[in-house]
Structure 1
Amino acid sequence: MSSNKHLNIFQTPFHNPSIFQIRDKTRFDGQLVDFCVPANSYFPPTEMEALINRNMHDILKYYPDYAPVYQDCIADLCDAPAENIVVANGITEIITILCRESRGPILTSVPTFGRWTDIPPDFDIPVFYLQRKKENAFRLSADEVIRRAREVSASTVVISNPNNPTGAWFTGEEIRAIAEALTDVDHILIDESFIEFSDLESAESLAMNSDNVIVVKSMGKSLGWHGIRLGYAVANTLQTEALRRKVPYWNINGLAGFVLKNMWRFKDEYRASFLKVAEDRDYMFEQLQKVPGLITYPSKCNFLFSELPKGVSGKRVRDLLLDHYGLVVRECSNKVGSTEYYLRNVVRRKEQTDALVSALTDVLTALDREPQVPEAEGVAG
């Protein structure tokens, strides 16, 4: 546990505190650099912000459009027909509905996005885990997923592709193999919230032509604006019609709706941003290899998952980076299947990566002189 009582805000059961809480509590006097929230560093463009500012009066005054308008906007971005899309107030809205409606058990790999592990118990639905292992760079095979689903008699199988927080992935061929083997389960839920930052094949087409596959996506990561709360699901028309009946009537706020309706103006910048992030990811991966004792794993996301040197507390590292360097990193002990000896660092621009690498080197060098903390066993390894 961190000895810095002013940073007790990090003692949350599932997620990190908001950036607003962190700014209020840190002792660092200056502008923070965020390596925690996985937002696109190259989107939105300043022209889009200016467009919003010019129209803010109407955005706030009037009711937003109805869901079909936004389904058309998303269809223009993802190439799926509007009838196969359900628009949501962030991916959590869709996840909550799908978990609540599951008859259980639910199977998910871990570590993963916290909502997949913390929502099922709220509805007394059993959830089983498939542990990702560092020996395999946290990747799983299709056979491992299929075998574990059979072992626990899963009715719902959750696949994060690529995975948060490890960045590990399945190929399109592996996803199809899982779907073909598990046609008898109620739902295969594929979370593709980070797939835009990769060269992976989306399962949206598979979902549209399948009886039990549903793809869910957060849009905050790719748009670079988590605060507007946008996400969507893609499935066959029977599934999407049923799912639409379960979301609130006006579930998209006016600002989010305005962004969607004007994305056509910025599609080129939007798609180009993912290539820029991928280039920065390669650079960040290369530079993190230079930090003594740190092991960083390959990733298809806009973040990198790193293992700290043996016995070094991620909580100490997080607190020191924040208070002394103004760098906000994601320590992963409150993710099921992970420990405090892992950090997830969001891909930022090269000059920011250089600052992180320098600070991490300083902190780990200093901590190397301190007594080591025994590591927990049986997780993330």
Structure 2
Amino acid sequence: MRHGVDSGLFQQTAHSPSYFELSRTGAGELVDFCIPCNPYFPTPQMFEELSKNLEAVLKFYPSDASKIAQQLCTVLGLNPATIAMSNGSTELITWMDHLWIRESVAVPIPTFGRWTDQPMESDKRVGMFPLRESDNFELDVDEYVEFIRARGSRAAVICNPNNPDGGYLPRREIVRLMDELADLDLVVVDESFVDFVEVERNPSVAAEASIRPNVVVLKSLGKNFGLHGVRFGYLVANPGLAGKMRRTLPKWNVNSLAETVVFMLAEHEAEYAESLRLLSRDRYRMGVELSRVPDLTVYSSQANFLLVKLGGGVDGRELRDHLLSRHQVFIRECGDKLGMSSRFARLVVRPEHDVDRLVEGIRDFTRSRWTTDHASRSSEPSLLMHSA
């Protein structure tokens, strides 16, 4: 089935168009492999509970951020003095750039685009440390520290797990990196996807950040809980840094829907833990299925997405458009990510039946491409015709 999607939407921004933008262009009901949501949380019962309260949620002001923060800290076992909450983690990235990044920042690439875009927009010097494809995009702590020293960067960022490849550094390596960079103005550890890590029991360094003078850990509840539309993130840092951020942010910067979700979490911790178990299972299954597709390289991931490289000279933009128009499958082609090319795509982990649809779409694209290439070659004049 074909659907009329304007491919120009993908040229309008460094990020993919939203689900709503695509839906409004006639894409129909999409299977979304682009936006990294948790497909198992909230549960249908939680959504039903939210829908019953929707009128009040939309009609009334939320509580101030301090009251919501106190509840969040009760659930997560954090000290309220060490956190600041925001309308999405991107709001915190923006304010960290304005408050604490003075002249320069080092960022490994490829990574989440706002870590390079935001400081460049405010005329900072961004030292981009390339993660090598030949090393499976793994970050070497010693090489990164050497790069930071050589560039004279006063701030440094690391995403763990990284986006878009899902690469994960063990907790001990992150602590070592913080020790090595104790003299910098700021070290940010973006842990937006850390809840999906399964190779280590306690991967977060949030507790370490709360007692260090220059470390901030960034968290995103939207990514963990499958609620991007809520726009809810927070940081963990020592009380001085966290307090400065709280005083900078607007008093009612967290909306009523986010508040409702925070107060629901205490009653649904078991369901959240189960969602992470199911997602880990699906990540393994999805990796196996994609590995069976010819000319497709699948990278190991500890996040809720998998990075793949397309072989045979395939352009990811062509695959993206084919999947969207013929199969109503939406993927993240990575040609606009610094340090990557259109040969790469990021695919969000989804349940088995959705993966079957994705794989069939990729195989259909490969078949149609082979047919087109074969027909093109067959129509070329032969050497005998030329010699005649």
**TM-score scaled by length of structure 1:** 0.93
Please tell me whether residue 259 in structure 1 is matched to residue 298 in structure 2. Answer: no
- Corresponding letter in the other structure for 1:278: S
SS at match of 1:162: coil
- Counterpart of 1:119 in 2: which secondary structure? helix
1:146-225, aligned counterparts within 5 Å? 146-199=145-198, 200=200, 201-225=203-227
Q: Contact 2:158 / 2:188 at 8 angstroms: preserved in 1?
A: yes
The offset of 1:184, in angstroms, is: 0.6
Alignment of 1:36-115 (within 5 A): 36-101=34-99, 102-115=101-114
1:208-241 deviation digits (Å, cap 9, x = unpaired): 1111110001111111110010000001111111
Q: Distance in 1 between matches of 2:247 and 2:339?
A: 34
Contact 2:5 2:22 in 1 (8 A): no
Counterpart of 1:127 in structure 2 is: 126
Moved more, 39-48 or 358-367: 358-367
Q: Give, in whole Å, the separation in 2 of the partners of 1:73 and 1:141.
A: 38
Give the equivalent residue in structure 2 for 1:329: 331
Indicate the residue corresponding to 2:383 in structure 1: none
Partner of 1:141: 140
Map Cα deviations across residues 269-322 of structure 1 (whole Å, 9 max, x no partner).
012211110110000001100111000100000000000014211000000000
Distance 1:348 1:54, change over 3 A: same
Equivalent residue of 1:262, what SS?
helix
2:308 is the alignment partner of 1:306 = yes
Q: Secondary structure at the residue paired with 1:87? A: strand
User: Which residue in the other structure is 2:232 paired with?
Assistant: 230
Larger mean CA deviation between 16-25 and 320-329 belongs to 16-25
2:222–2:233 Cα contact (<8 Å) kept: yes
Q: Residues 346-374 of structure 1: CA distance to partner in whole angstroms, max 9, x if unpaired?
A: 000011111111211221233245569xx
Distance 1:5 1:49 in 2: 29
Deviation string for 1:139-188 (max 9, x for gaps)?
11111221111111111100000000011111111101111111110111
**Structure 2 Cα separation of the partners of residues 223 and 165 of structure 1:** 19
How far apart, in 1, do the equivalents of 2:303 and 2:181 lie? 26
Q: Give 1:277's aligned amino acid.
A: L
> In 1, are the aligned partners of 2:5 and 2:25 still within 8 Å (CA)?
no
Shift of 1:72: 2.0
Within 1, Cα distance between the matches of 2:165 and 2:229?
23
Letter in 2 for 1:55: N
Q: Which runs of 5+ in 2 are unaligned?
A: 375-388
**What's the offset of the Cα at 1:111?**
0.9
Structure 2 counterpart of 1:184, one-letter code: D
Q: 2:234 and 2:214 mapped to 1: Cα distance? A: 17
Shift of 1:137: 1.2
Q: CA deviation at 1:81?
A: 1.5
Residue pair 2:333, 2:346 contacting (<8 A) in 1 also: yes
- Structure 1 position 25, deviation (Å): 2.7
Residues of 2 paired with 1:137 and 1:204: CA distance?
Answer: 27
Moved more, 285-294 or 56-65: 56-65
Indicate the SS of the match to 1:352. helix
d(CA) in 2 for partners of 1:77, 1:282: 29
8 Å CA contact 2:299–2:306 kept in 1: the answer is: yes
* Shift in CA distance, 247/366, structure 1 to aligned 2, threshold 3 Å: same
- Can you list the C-alpha shifts for 1:55-105, whole angstroms capped at 9, x where unaligned? 222222221111122212322343222221111110001000011221121
CA RMSD of aligned residues (A): 1.6
Partners in 2 of 1:212 and 1:38 — Cα distance? 29
Aligned with residue 358 of structure 1, among 353, 357, 360: 360
Distance in structure 1 (CA, Å) of the matches to 2:275 and 2:80: 24
Which moves more between the two structures, 72-81 or 296-305? 72-81
Q: Does 1:16 align with 2:12?
A: no
Contact 2:5 2:325 in 1 (8 A): no
Q: Quick one: which amino acid aligns to residue 21 of structure 1?
A: E
**SS at 2:156's partner residue?**
strand
The answer on whether the counterparts of 1:80 and 1:204 sit within 8 Å (CA) in structure 2 is no
Secondary structure in 2 matching 1:265: coil
The TM-score with structure 2 as length reference comes to 0.91
Give the aligned partner of residue 382 of structure 2.
Answer: none
Distance 1:122 1:146 in 2: 25
Pick which of 50-59 and 205-214 moved more.
50-59
Residue 320 (structure 1) aligns with:
322
Greater Cα offset, 363-372 or 118-127: 363-372
Where do 5+ consecutive residues of structure 1 fail to align? 373-381
Corresponding residue for residue 377 of structure 1: none
| Structure 2: distance between partners of 1:369 and 1:143 | 49
Say if 1:13 and 1:334, in contact at 8 Å, map to a contact too. Answer: no
Shift of 1:31: 2.4
Q: Secondary structure at the match of 2:267?
A: helix
